[in-house]
Structure 1
Amino acid sequence: MPLKALMRLFILFQFTLIANCVESELVEALKILFNEINKPLQPVAITCWSVDASVRFVRSFSTSIQNYQINVFNDELFKFSNTDHCSDVFIVDIRCPNAQRIVNETNSLSPVNLRMVVVDSSMDVNDNMQEKMVDLFSNAAILPNSEIYLVTKVDNETFDFTQIYRTAINRPLIIEKFLPNSLRNEQDLTVISRRRLLNGIELRASMVVTNNDSLNHLDDYRDKHIDTITKVCYILTNHLISFLNASVRYSIVPSWGYMDADGEWSGMIGQLVKNEADLGATSLFFTADRVSVIQYIAMPSSTGSAFIFRAPKLSYTDNVFLLPFDDFVWLCLGCLVLVTAGCLLITVFVEWKTPLDGPCLDTDSGLLRPKLTDTFLLVFGATCQQGSSVTPRCHSARIITITAFVVLMFLYTSYAANIVALLQSPSTKIKSLKDLLDSRLKFGVDDTVFNHYYFSHATEPVRKKIYEQKVRNKDGSENFMNLETGIENVRKGLFAFHTESGVGYKIIGETFYEDEKCGLREIKYLDVIDPWYAIQKNSSYMELFKTGLMRINEHGLQERENSRLYTSKPKCSGGGGHFVTASLVDTFPAMLVLLYGYAIALILLISEILVKRFSSSYKSKNPLFIRRR
């Protein structure tokens, strides 16, 4: 019989003898440990026990620890690929011959939340269990997120629990006592809070820098509008490294990283994917294609990019001559003019049917005749407060005329007052990207790496049209420009500039007059969430980073750095300090009415001349026409 088979029989015989221990002492130790962990777990026992011993263990476990459903696998057949190791806790017998192979297989797994309980099935009091455990995990990648427990028996009623981990793959194992919750400090209840001190290990951070001069001003708050997000994240990353008691080595890349045609990632994302960096030290946008290759952990800054522009005057988007009154008021005003003209026409018609005493009344040119055109012109002149050269001759018609002049005077006063205010008011009609696209504003974009990428790769119809019609010119050039030039064009008006809001407002606050800060609008173009910190997918330091960044935020450090490096939107404090003159655009509707009036008058003049000539020609050719008359 082969030696391996003999050893197998010996082990099975041994576990048959200790079945009672497996049923009682081992289950009791696991019960104590699981109660202390106090997390929803799925226990998986990987053993070399006999079938009878395994059945006895499952029965005893199910009876004593009713909150957990345990699965038992043979150590020769078990494969980690068949389990969800992120939610399982593996129970490994250190006496099994395949224990070393099982531990070595964990190196190929994601080390996030890897939980393993190492037990000695004999449950004998053994002083060298820790040494055996150290040997067992000497080459294992059990980093701070992993939870590896060793269960040893102190005496017949007491069990000892020990944890091991290492701060980095090339660092020695650290052995720590796993105390019950009742004996732990409130600050040390979680694994991460106990292991946050990394003892000076060097972490690798990838940082995006688009302007090389920024490397000289990363923490001195100079040139805050250049690589602002990099400077904010650099300071916060240093706070994080200090919180973890680690050191950091930065690598500089020119872009955040985008996927090429071959499916390879460049820039900062490329370094994270290739395990050349542990942390992305410059936050980046949250996009769907990046979720599968990196992991987002926190948002260090709420800044975003948007089109910033000064709202154009109301006359650029609306006809200000129609805005003073509501549509219903205009309808009532039209009805008032018609009713007044009708009443006045009837009254004048009746009065001219009644003869009055007096010389030359019929020849007086200052009296209103019962004609529709004369009556309408009088009422229209009253509407425009222009007066009239004729007056009715009787009292009833004069009362109608006076009443019309008085009522229309109040309407005219309200109209004129509203026109003055509207000519000075900014438009509020540009509220979306579609409105911005349809407006007469010119466009410009901050010359940054991510703007070039997102504008040229836009697929949504409106955003694509903005790039093709507003950003890209017909000659193939593009309206990408530096920050100062773009903000200066915004100051001149009728120009929308896409940049980071906090950065753009800094230049606006330094260069705009107080009255020019009024009417500032912004519309977001990038359909992405605000920038987030990114780390390697399934990083072993994920919980450490998340906890550290959360502490930095809670202590106010994040808000302080953002307030020092980003500028909020300037407040409007000089809205009435600058008078805006009326331009041709403001008076264009009035000029249009004048041109239409001239055109109609000219057409009627030409028509009258043609009719007169045609009539004279017809009469000269038909002398009988005159005789008949």
Structure 2
Amino acid sequence: MYRSLTIVCAIFICSSFALSVSKENYITVIVDVIQSFNKPSDVISNVCWTNIYKKKLTANLAAADNPRSIKFVNDIHAKDLVHPEKVTFLIDVRCKDSGGFLNKAASRKYFGRPHRWFIINTPANEVSVPLVIDKMHLLPDSEVYVMQLINNSYSINLIYKIKPNREWIIENYGNWSTENGLTISRRAKKVALVMRRRNLARASIVTSMVITDNGSFADLETLRYKQIDSVTKGGFHQLTALYEFMNASREFVFTDQWGHHVNGTWHGMVGHLADGTAELAGAILFITKERMPLIEYMSHPMESSIKFLFREPPLSYQNNLYLLPFQASVWYCVGSFVLVLIFAMYFSAYWEAKKVADEKQKADDTTVLVPTISDVTIFVMCAISQQGSTVELKGMLGRFMILILFLVFLFLYTAYSASIVVLLQSSSNQIRTLTDLLNSKLELGVEDTPYNRYWFMNEKEPIRRAIYEKKIAPSGSKPKFFDLTEGILQLQKKPFALNCNLGVAYKVMERYFYEHEKCGLQEISYLQNNNPWQAVRKGSPYREIFKIGLLRNAEFGLNDRTNRIMFSKKPVCSVRGGSFVSVSLVDCYPILLLLLYGMILGVMLLLVEILYYRKMNTRP
């Protein structure tokens, strides 16, 4: 009996000692692995250990190189995840409550980035996935380390699935032994986690594509009609390299809308990303506050600026040409000179009339300028307009003044006329803002696309709203939404501004515009945020792989190649001299207005003279 009791005690002591040694090793392995992350960690632990080993683990973590902290919990609380990028969950699957803890974590999506998990799965005879997480979906964005005791050493493995219906992938992170400590595998040490998981083994990744024309389905590869659904076709070719980078197969869902919030739900491409139908957007999107909780913006792959495009209008559309030849100071000098000449001519005429009276000569010569302000003023006006006069001054001084008068205004008239000819062929560069565009005489139109219709019809900012209500869709008329080619042809024929995708518009211009018509092109942005971005579903497990792949496309010039194929840059003005245009009614408007006012004033003066004449003749 004593012998049996001795054997039992010996077995108990040996097992206790072995358990103690194993717990000590657990602590060392845990600390070494967490320290290998080279980042501060807030450890949230769910283990059923005694207080002695919990205190030892706490002390060893506190003594590590980088700051570490640990909190022992029985349940998951959001208040413990203040800095999720620092959190490392530690759990022992042998504890009876570990299953509930893991299930709750999975329901709250805590297995995705940026959280880390360290799972103790010992003892084990071979590398395996713990049964408590076998049915869970730990996808490529997870970082779950499993520690197992195999052949007197501890194996630390990373486990994940490419997709929920795929097999587990087990990757060796490193091994720990009492002799060598933690030895990290060469691949884990040299290659980043996301790059080790980028091979998706031809798993299908769903992409949402925006197609507004049925012909685009067959034209995604051939690109025969680049101006139709150009953004989607460009995105299709840019994402081809991304799929090759991930070794994934493509699967598409199609829609005819980019997606906006309507009646409490999201539709279109954004709707596909929001409800998880698609992982990746097949077309670029503008950043809006409403979309931020649903999608994540990754990169800026293409220059697809949506702006008002117009040719500089004739100068007469913005200014009165007949006031521009001279600066204000010149006009003041000319006015002062005219007044001086009127008074000088008046005194000269008055002097000659007095001289004739003193010499008792007859003063009935009709070719002599009468010394009245009205006659002298009309004489000077005749000289200014180069019309000549039937009267003149007879004296030497008067003749000299007439010579000076006609000579000065001959030079002014020549300079003024030459400037007018130049200005009639000049264009205005004064339209620089949306306010200028609203107040200009340009007609406005918009390329007929789903996003343009949405943005213009729902804009609340006063200037932009006024542009839509007064220029695009005035009351009682059909909104001016055009096919791109139709809008470009109008831009060619008349002063017109078209809101469109510039890269595609310039490609259409290359087909229809003459070289001199490519000069004077101006752009004004209508959208407040005019930089489109590539987007993915919020919380996508492939987000980091997408990010690396998209940046790689940009670095290798793949995006630039597609952009050069799909879009054109602003054409260079090389033959501006060929842009001769005929004088239009707008150019002559100020002169015709002056003629009309002169005729009205002449009729009024005639009526005044008639009334004055009758009044004078009715006196007794």
- Answer whether TM exceeds 0.5 for this pair: yes
* Amino acid of the structure 1 residue aligned with 2:385: C
- The aligned residue for residue 96 of structure 1 is 95
- The aligned residue for residue 514 of structure 1 is 515
Q: Identity over aligned residues, as a percent? A: 34
RMSD of the TM alignment (CA)?
A: 3.3
Checking the alignment, whether the CA contact within 8 Å between 1:62 and 1:68 is kept in structure 2 is yes
Report which stretch shifted further, 324-333 or 241-250.
324-333
Name the SS of the counterpart of 1:321 in structure 2: helix
Query: What CA deviation, in whole Å up to 9, does each residue of 1:465-511 have, x standing for no partner?
Result: 33333333544643333223222222221333332222222222212
Distance in 1 (alpha carbons) for counterparts of 2:447 and 2:427: 25
Name the SS of the counterpart of 2:49 in structure 1: coil
- The aligned residue for residue 169 of structure 1 is 164
Distance in 2 (alpha carbons) for counterparts of 1:42 and 1:148: 16
* Amino acid of the structure 2 residue aligned with 1:71: I
CA shift, 1:276, in A, is: 1.4
Distance in 2 (alpha carbons) for counterparts of 1:334 and 1:185: 88
Checking the alignment, whether the CA contact within 8 Å between 1:114 and 1:145 is kept in structure 2 is no
Query: What CA deviation, in whole Å up to 9, does each residue of 1:399-426 have, x standing for no partner?
Result: 5544444444443333222211111122
- The aligned residue for residue 467 of structure 2 is 466
Distance in 1 (alpha carbons) for counterparts of 2:39 and 2:140: 18
- The aligned residue for residue 106 of structure 1 is 105
Checking the alignment, whether the CA contact within 8 Å between 1:381 and 1:387 is kept in structure 2 is yes
Query: What CA deviation, in whole Å up to 9, does each residue of 1:418-452 have, x standing for no partner?
Result: 21111112222332323323333333332222222
* Amino acid of the structure 2 residue aligned with 1:53: Y
* Amino acid of the structure 1 residue aligned with 2:75: L
1:73/1:15 Cα in 2 relative to 1: closer, same or farther (>3 Å)? farther
Q: Name which of 215, 230, 234 aligns with 2:217.
A: 215
Query: How do 1:387-406 residues align onto structure 2 when only pairs under 5 Å count?
Result: 387-396=388-397, 398-406=399-407
Query: How do 1:567-586 residues align onto structure 2 when only pairs under 5 Å count?
Result: 567-586=568-587
CA shift, 1:515, in A, is: 2.6
Name the SS of the counterpart of 2:58 in structure 1: helix
Distance in 1 (alpha carbons) for counterparts of 2:406 and 2:189: 84
Query: How do 1:30-429 residues align onto structure 2 when only pairs under 5 Å count?
Result: 30-65=30-65, 67-74=66-73, 76-79=74-77, 82-84=80-82, 85-110=84-109, 111-119=112-120, 128=125, 130-131=127-128, 133-151=129-147, 161-178=156-173, 184=186, 188-261=190-263, 263-346=264-347, 349=350, 362-396=363-397, 398-429=399-430
* Amino acid of the structure 2 residue aligned with 1:202: S
CA shift, 1:459, in A, is: 1.8
Name the SS of the counterpart of 2:277 in structure 1: coil
Alignment length (residue pairs): 596
Distance in 1 (alpha carbons) for counterparts of 2:165 and 2:85: 24
CA shift, 1:608, in A, is: 0.8
Checking the alignment, whether the CA contact within 8 Å between 2:124 and 2:149 is kept in structure 1 is no
Unmatched tracts of structure 1, length 5 or more: 1-13, 623-629
Checking the alignment, whether the CA contact within 8 Å between 1:205 and 1:251 is kept in structure 2 is yes
Distance in 1 (alpha carbons) for counterparts of 2:19 and 2:149: 15
CA shift, 1:191, in A, is: 1.0
Report which stretch shifted further, 372-381 or 222-231.
372-381
Distance in 2 (alpha carbons) for counterparts of 1:186 and 1:30: 17
Checking the alignment, whether the CA contact within 8 Å between 2:303 and 2:503 is kept in structure 1 is no
Distance in 1 (alpha carbons) for counterparts of 2:612 and 2:258: 78
CA shift, 1:225, in A, is: 0.5
CA shift, 1:136, in A, is: 4.2
Distance in 2 (alpha carbons) for counterparts of 1:77 and 1:447: 55
Distance in 1 (alpha carbons) for counterparts of 2:222 and 2:29: 56
Distance in 2 (alpha carbons) for counterparts of 1:369 and 1:222: 82
Q: Say whether residues 1:504 and 2:505 are aligned partners.
A: yes
- The aligned residue for residue 12 of structure 2 is none
Checking the alignment, whether the CA contact within 8 Å between 2:202 and 2:247 is kept in structure 1 is yes
Name the SS of the counterpart of 1:198 in structure 2: coil
Name the SS of the counterpart of 1:286 in structure 2: coil
Distance in 1 (alpha carbons) for counterparts of 2:384 and 2:26: 102
Query: How do 1:428-447 residues align onto structure 2 when only pairs under 5 Å count?
Result: 428-447=429-448
- The aligned residue for residue 529 of structure 1 is 530
CA shift, 1:547, in A, is: 0.7
1:358/1:446 Cα in 2 relative to 1: closer, same or farther (>3 Å)? same
- The aligned residue for residue 4 of structure 2 is none
Distance in 2 (alpha carbons) for counterparts of 1:378 and 1:587: 26
CA shift, 1:551, in A, is: 0.4
Distance in 1 (alpha carbons) for counterparts of 2:89 and 2:367: 112
* Amino acid of the structure 1 residue aligned with 2:136: A
Name the SS of the counterpart of 1:221 in structure 2: coil
Checking the alignment, whether the CA contact within 8 Å between 2:356 and 2:363 is kept in structure 1 is no
CA shift, 1:80, in A, is: 5.7
* Amino acid of the structure 1 residue aligned with 2:145: Y
Distance in 1 (alpha carbons) for counterparts of 2:345 and 2:522: 51
- The aligned residue for residue 590 of structure 2 is 589
Checking the alignment, whether the CA contact within 8 Å between 1:103 and 1:140 is kept in structure 2 is no
CA shift, 1:361, in A, is: 8.1
Report which stretch shifted further, 139-148 or 177-186.
177-186
CA shift, 1:555, in A, is: 0.7
1:69/1:16 Cα in 2 relative to 1: closer, same or farther (>3 Å)? farther
Distance in 1 (alpha carbons) for counterparts of 2:183 and 2:49: 32
Checking the alignment, whether the CA contact within 8 Å between 1:145 and 1:191 is kept in structure 2 is no
* Amino acid of the structure 1 residue aligned with 2:87: D
Query: What CA deviation, in whole Å up to 9, does each residue of 1:357-389 have, x standing for no partner?
Result: 999585554444543334333443443344455
Q: TM-score, length-normalised on structure 2?
A: 0.86
CA shift, 1:561, in A, is: 0.7
- The aligned residue for residue 545 of structure 1 is 546
Distance in 2 (alpha carbons) for counterparts of 1:181 and 1:358: 131
